[in-house]
Structures are given as structure tokens and as C-alpha cells.
Amino acid sequence: MNKIELPQRGLYAITGQFDSAHRLIERVELAIQGGAAIIQYRDKNSTLTEQQEIARQLLTVCNRLRTPLIINDDIELAKTIGAHGVHLGQNDSKLAQAKISLPSDAIIGITCYNSIERAIEAEKQGASYVAFGRFFFSKSKPEASTASLSILAQAKQQLSLPVTAIGGINTENGSKVLEAGADLLAVIDGVFGEDQPDQAARRFVKLFN
């Protein structure tokens, strides 16, 4: 099977709260069918054993549909199941750890909040993409610090990596974020909080055209 590359542009769908593993996997498949370019598995509630089983099932779906599966903030889980990559938060030492632990072609994303300096350093250390935010009120992280849309233009000028925007992004404000310089729109509730994730994904995909 050919390597699944990191898309340079598109909808980056992140799993939120879910009531059953079966339902989550079903909804992730729908989101991809609707046009989600990347899936991130983010799960703060399941046990490690449950996470491994869910992640393996998600990876099967993502491989079949040629879509990268990124694991949120858990290098060991990404390594164990053979995910396409990992997304890391504010622990600076984790990027170096991921470079050592994961295959050389693994996708590594770094959260940079509202810091262009952090993004520049992440690129130097070998990150695959950077993420800024939150830009708007976020149900999943209401306490997160805010970022200015102007940082997206700065990032596009100073970085050669794909730039991701996250935090309260929906189909009403998404165009504004793309115009500001984002390549990837990271969305949780706007996709998986909807009854029909495939239709929700299609609405976001239209913003890129």
C-alpha cells in the first residue's frame, strides 16, 4: 500500500465525546466520506485497552479510505497501533520523543496556541504541521487561551509547513479563517456534534473551493 501523505489543505476532523465505539467508528467513516482530509482520535475517557481497540478499528477505516489517522497527545498509542502520526500539545520535549519513537515518515503536529516563535521552533525540530487557536468560543475547550487571526498570516509568511486553525470553527466563520491564512480547519463539534457528519463535512469542504 502506498504511503498516506499529510494533506496540505482541507478539513481536519477531531473526534469528541462519543457514546459507543461502534457509533464513533461509523461516524468517522461518514465524515471521511463527506470529505474530511484528516482524522484525529482524541479520547480522554476510555481506558488504555479501550483506546487501543478503538484506535485500531479507526486505523482500518482510515487506511481503507486513504485518510491519515492522527492520535492526540499519546506517542505510545500511535506507535502501538501504527497510526499515521500524533498531535502534541504544550510539552516541548515530546516532539523530540516522537521523532525517536515513531517511523521517520510519521506525521507530527504541534499546538502553538498564539505563538509564532513556538511554531518556528517546531518547524526547526521537524514538525509536519502546526496548529494555532482557539480563535472562537470552543465547547470542547472553553478555557483555552485565544489566538488572533493575524497570526495565521504571520505563519504563512514565516513557515513552510501547513498551518492549522482550531477552536470554535464552523461553516459561518470558516471562510474568514481560510482567508486569514489557514490551510487546514480543525473541527470537533462542527462535524461530530452534528447528526449527519458526512453532510457536515461537505459543508466545510465547500469553503475550500
pLDDT band at 198 (very low <50, low <70, confident <90, very high): very high
* C-alpha 178, offset from chain centre: 16
Beta bridge partners of 163: 130
Residues 6+ apart with CB under 8 A from 146: 114, 134, 135, 167
**What is the tens place of the pLDDT at every residue in 90-128?**
666 899 999 999 999 999 999 999 999 999 999 999 999
What pLDDT shows up at residue 93?
80
The domains of the chain, with CATH numbers, are 10-207 (3.20.20.70)
Contact indicator for 169, 184 with CB cutoff of 8 Å = no
**What is the tens place of the pLDDT at every residue in 112-122?**
999 999 999 99
* Measured distance CA(120)–CA(184) in Å, rounded: 18
**What is the tens place of the pLDDT at every residue in 19-72?**
899 999 999 999 999 999 999 999 988 999 999 999 999 999 999 999 999 999
